[in-house]
Structure 1
Amino acid sequence: MADFATLTELKARLDWTLDADEERIATAALEDASDLARMYAGRDWEPVTIAPRMVRTLVLKACKRYMNNPSGYTQSRAGDETLGWSDDQGENAGTVYFTRDEQTMLAEIGGRKRGLISAEVSAWNSVRRPVHAGLVPVEDGGKQFPLFRPDGEPW
């Protein structure tokens, strides 16, 4: 599967020139971010050129975030070589990841809508009878009678 963004597009968003090792890491990050985007969107776009531009933008954003801080440092010091990691990102520290908002955007781009839905429920082997607004069914099969005044508003 192809990536949603290219290494050239990622390089254009970074503030420095990548060396050969960083290019290898960036290429792997683009692959990981593209796979994550497919997973959160719940679909794939083949060819990737038909994917919405926002998918490419989100992939590049996640890769830039990773390339700016690949080890997930939150503190660094030159004096006594102090480095610090944070558990704020949890399992995502030092990896390519999408934020919750980005995950939601990818899901919506892929056609997954969040929220409540209603589903009609009926008993097994039940027979549906047509319902007429404002008419009450009669048990012995007789003519249904209106529940409202017929010459005015229904309720």
Structure 2
Amino acid sequence: MAYATLDELKGRLDWEPDEDEMRIAAGALDDASDLVATYGRDWPEDTAPRLVKTLVLKSAARYMRNPNGYTQSRAGDETLAWSDIGRDAGTVYFSREEIRLLEELAGRKRGIYSAPVSAWGTKLPLRDAAGHVPVDYAGGDPFPLFSDGAGPW
């Protein structure tokens, strides 16, 4: 399941792809769509946000223009160089910013979270039992702070 079509990808390329390039392009669209499901969410094709299609096309076109991931190439000395993208050189990939956009579209938020923890065989204290500290940002839920079952602090 690709979030974009070959015709849409052809519209982003500077040349008319031949038969082999079209086969590679189809694979690039599939790979980029799989990465969307990994970094974002597995959206149904008809309800995926427009930005998902844009990011898939951007990644696949980047791969089609530079399938080996070169940043420098010289014919005389046969000098080749790759950037710091490391293992992603020569593959379909998303940049850090593109991954962040996909995470935001999927509703994933990075940050610090708290989770109630209890020993095996014991019960967690009720949420409203005690110990919620207000937060200083608007609309935030109180932060749980429990010390024991006898007192809130």
TM-score range, shorter chain: 0.7 to 0.9
TM-score, normalising length from structure 1? 0.73
Aligned to 1:84: 80
TM-superposed CA distance for 1:119, in Å, is 3.3
Contact 1:73 1:83 in 2 (8 A): no
Aligned to 1:40: 39
Q: Which runs of 5+ in 1 are unaligned?
A: 132-155
CA RMSD in angstroms comes to 2.4
Shift of the 16–117 alpha-carbon distance from structure 1 to 2, 3 Å rule, reads same
Shift of the 25–126 alpha-carbon distance from structure 1 to 2, 3 Å rule, reads closer
State the aligned residue count: 129
TM-score, normalising length from structure 2? 0.74
Q: Which runs of 5+ in 2 are unaligned?
A: 131-153
Report SS of the residue matched to 1:115: coil
1:44-83 counterparts in 2 under 5 A? 44-46=42-44, 48-79=45-76, 82-83=78-79
TM-superposed CA distance for 1:75, in Å, is 2.1
Q: Which has the larger radius of gyration?
A: 1
Distance 2:84 2:63 in 1: 15
Q: How many percent identity over aligned positions?
A: 57
